[in-house]
């Protein structure tokens, strides 16, 4: 999967949009910024562009290595000679609106008040993200994406793109996603939100003004999130009932390795990674609201009848957050429309996290599909 081509240090860019963006909630963003990174070169026909959509805690730094030496969150899959080959494709990834890594969101300045938005940043939905990403597309001079790719919440954005802008993407790659959250999914999100909002340091979202952050709540939310990303089997094989100190201590300190791992993940997220609590809330709400079929009489087949893209759908056997059954719903709705759809059910013990991890079957399916996307591109060039 790796190559010896040296990768340049990635640099983020900023798009300032002054055209107002009306949101699904009824609010309007009169202006906003999107931070993004690009990798590879856009060809003369502007036909080789790929948009990567990120998941809950992701950002625009998806590939390469940044100035601080930090690898992109999908580094192993995107780059020169990799599954998504930046020698062939011009890859774009932006931080979602409401994020906390540079795009307009709760930690950026509200132009109307001159203060950070905090909890006043409006509720955003997948549909809003897709609209904002379409402005980035236009800015980059791209008429049609060669492909959109996303895992988890990223896959949901890809689905929304295929429905809302059917002619602006040739391929939709939807990984470890679902056509809408189940009651259980929403319930997990709600517990995470309650953890954040009931932290006394939350101050109704105005924690930055109080010079603090709801670290405890955010750490809890992340611990819970992690729990749902991992499979029971994987936790069993990785941690089992292994003890941290070799023998039981019979106290409330960490006894089992799995406790230590989760506490570490929670604390890292809330302190070292400094993720914004309001962003966490917004992202989970966007997940809850995602339900493209709702606009089409709750009929997913009808919703996807709009789509013109070719689809690759991938699910992982041990993913209980968005199980293969949820991908089956997507595939069945596409088949109802006789769409061009490939589907792979990949055996993995890594749960929802599998979409970020090495796996020969997954890489094989994914890279062969990308080869198809590339060959189509070459064909298009010859036609032109």
The residue ranges of DSSP E strands in the chain, in sequence order, are 9-10, 13-17, 21-22, 28-29, 32-39, 49-53, 65-66, 78-79, 84-85, 90-94, 147-151, 171-175, 310-316, 341-346
* Binder of a copy of itself out of 6, 26, 114, 211 (CB under 8 A): 26
Smallest distance from a copy of itself to CB 163, Å: 18
d(CA 304, CA 210): 46
Window of 106-114, 139-147, 231-239, 355-363 that interacts with a copy of itself by CB under 8 A: 231-239
Does the footprint of a copy of itself cover residue 15 (CB under 8 A)?
A: no
| CA-based nearest residue to 285, from 128, 72, 75, 103 | 128
Closer to a copy of itself at the Cβ: 110 or 212?
A: 212
∠ CA 259-265-268 to the nearest 5 degrees?
135
Smallest distance from a copy of itself to CB 281, Å: 7
Catalogue the active-site residues. Answer: 152, 319, 352
Spell out, one character per residue from 69 to 98, where the chain touches a copy of itself: x when CB under 8 A holds, - when not.
------------------------------
* Binder of a copy of itself out of 167, 251, 297, 338 (CB under 8 A): 251
In this structure, what token pair is assigned to residue 234? 């994987």
d(CA 175, CA 352): 10
d(CA 206, CA 189): 21
Closer to a copy of itself at the Cβ: 81 or 200?
A: 200
The string over 186-204, giving b where at least 16 C-beta atoms fall within 10 Å of a residue's C-beta and e elsewhere, is eebbeebbebbbebebbbe
Window of 28-36, 62-70, 156-164, 249-257 that interacts with a copy of itself by CB under 8 A: 249-257
Answer whether 346's CB lies under 8 Å from 316's CB.
Answer: yes
Window of 19-27, 64-72, 88-96, 138-146 that interacts with a copy of itself by CB under 8 A: 19-27
d(CA 131, CA 157): 10
d(CA 232, CA 225): 14
Smallest distance from a copy of itself to CB 177, Å: 16
* Binder of a copy of itself out of 232, 340, 375, 381 (CB under 8 A): 232
DSSP, res 32? E
Spell out, one character per residue from 127 to 166, where the chain touches a copy of itself: x when CB under 8 A holds, - when not.
----------------------------------------
Does the footprint of a copy of itself cover residue 197 (CB under 8 A)?
A: yes
Closer to a copy of itself at the Cβ: 113 or 184?
A: 184
Answer whether 139's CB lies under 8 Å from 129's CB.
Answer: no
Residues facing residue 109 across a β-bridge:
116
| CA-based nearest residue to 170, from 331, 310, 335 | 310
* Binder of a copy of itself out of 18, 67, 211, 250 (CB under 8 A): 250
Measured CA distances, 370 to 83, 151, 184, 312 (Å): 7, 15, 34, 10
Please classify residue 245 by burial: count the beta carbons closer than 10 Å to its beta carbon, then call 0-12 exposed, 13-18 middle and 19+ buried: exposed
Does the footprint of a copy of itself cover residue 240 (CB under 8 A)?
A: yes
Does the footprint of a copy of itself cover residue 256 (CB under 8 A)?
A: yes
Does the footprint of a copy of itself cover residue 203 (CB under 8 A)?
A: no
In this structure, what token pair is assigned to residue 145? 């994406």
Closer to a copy of itself at the Cβ: 87 or 325?
A: 325
* Binder of a copy of itself out of 7, 13, 15, 24 (CB under 8 A): 24
| CA-based nearest residue to 265, from 177, 358, 353, 156 | 353
Does the footprint of a copy of itself cover residue 111 (CB under 8 A)?
A: no
Closer to a copy of itself at the Cβ: 47 or 278?
A: 278
Window of 7-15, 31-39, 72-80, 187-195 that interacts with a copy of itself by CB under 8 A: 187-195
* Binder of a copy of itself out of 252, 272, 297, 384 (CB under 8 A): 252
Binding footprint of a copy of itself on the chain (CB under 8 A):
24-26, 123, 180-184, 186-188, 190-191, 193-195, 197-200, 216, 219-220, 223-224, 227, 230, 232, 235-236, 238-241, 248, 250-252, 255-256, 258-259, 262-263, 266, 281, 285, 288-289, 291
């Amino acid at each position: 999967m790796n190559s010896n081509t040296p990768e340049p240090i990635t640099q983020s860019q900023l798009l300032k949009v002054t055209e107002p963006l009306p949101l699904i909630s009824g609010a309007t963003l009169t202006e906003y910024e999107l931070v993004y990174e690009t990798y590879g070169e856009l060809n003369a026909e502007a036909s080789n562009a790929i948009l990567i959509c990120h998941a809950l805690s992701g950002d625009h730094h998806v590939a390469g290595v940044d100035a601080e030496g930090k690898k992109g969150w999908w580094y192993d899959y995107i780059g020169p000679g990799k599954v998504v080959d930046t020698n062939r494709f011009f890859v774009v990834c932006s931080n979602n609106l409401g994020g906390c890594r540079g795009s307009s969101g709760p930690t950026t300045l509200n132009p109307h008040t001159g203060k950070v938005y905090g909890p006043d940043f409006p509720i955003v939905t997948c549909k809003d993200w897709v609209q904002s990403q379409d402005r980035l597309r236009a800015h980059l001079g791209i008429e049609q994406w060669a492909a959109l790719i996303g895992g988890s919440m990223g896959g949901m954005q890809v689905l929304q793109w295929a429905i809302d802008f059917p002619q602006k993407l040739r391929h939709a790659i939807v990984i470890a996603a679902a056509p809408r959250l189940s009651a259980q999914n929403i319930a997990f999100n709600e517990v995470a939100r309650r953890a954040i909002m009931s932290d006394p340091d939350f101050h109704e979202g105005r924690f930055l003004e109080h010079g603090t952050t709801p670290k405890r709540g955010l750490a809890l939310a992340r611990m819970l999130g992690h729990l749902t990303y991992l499979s029971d089997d994987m936790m069993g094989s990785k941690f089992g009932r292994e003890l941290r100190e070799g023998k039981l201590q019979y106290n409330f300190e960490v006894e089992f390795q799995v406790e230590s791992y989760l506490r570490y993940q929670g604390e890292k997220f809330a302190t070292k990674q400094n993720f914004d609590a309001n962003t966490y809330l917004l992202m989970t709400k966007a997940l809850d609201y995602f339900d493209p079929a709702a606009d089409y009489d709750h009929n997913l087949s009808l919703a996807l009848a709009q789509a013109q893209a070719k689809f690759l759908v991938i699910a992982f056997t041990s993913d209980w957050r968005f199980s293969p059954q949820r991908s089956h719903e997507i595939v069945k709705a596409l088949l109802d429309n006789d769409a061009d759809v490939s589907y792979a059910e990949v055996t993995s013990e890594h749960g929802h996290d599998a979409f970020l991890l090495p796996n020969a079957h997954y890489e094989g399916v994914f890279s062969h599909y990308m080869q198809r996307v590339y060959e189509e591109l070459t064909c298009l060039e010859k036609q032109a």
